[in-house]
């Protein structure tokens, strides 16, 4: 499991909140501030894209998406140098 920190130093003005999307799918909605952590399971060697929209609470009108940010899940390097010998 990966732990992602989203940090955008911006509080929603009165009457607005935000939705967070991952690869075009809404994963968190009605966020008042974009300064939070998200635990997710990522597949190795894959890139994930995230963007936010703002929501006007009075009529639930949603804005166009923000610019996207991408996260690469990279596998750790394979261990090297392992040896074995028979002691008997």
Q: 3-state SS of the chain?
A: CEEEEEEEEEECCCCEEEEEEECCEEEEEEECEEEEEEEECCCCCEEEEEEEEEEECCCCEECCCCCCEEEEECCCCCCCCCCCCCCC
Q: What's the full length of the chain, in residues?
A: 88
What are the chain's domains? Answer: 2-71 (2.60.40)
In this predicted model, what pLDDT tens digit does every residue of 12-44 receive, in sequence order? 788 889 898 999 999 888 887 766 667 677 777
pLDDT for the residue numbered 2: 64
Who wins on pLDDT, 39 or 68?
68
pLDDT for the residue numbered 60: 92
pLDDT tens for residues 45-60? 888 899 999 999 999 9
């Amino acid at each position: 499991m990966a732990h992602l920190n989203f940090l955008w130093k911006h509080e929603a003005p009165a009457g607005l909140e935000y939705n967070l999307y991952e690869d075009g799918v809404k994963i968190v909605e009605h966020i008042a501030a974009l300064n939070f952590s998200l635990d997710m399971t990522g597949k190795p060697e894959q890139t994930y894209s995230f963007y936010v929209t703002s929501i006007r609470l009075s009529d639930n009108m949603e804005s166009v998406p923000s610019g996207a940010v991408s996260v690469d899940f990279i596998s750790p390097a394979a261990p090297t140098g392992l040896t074995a010998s028979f002691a008997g």
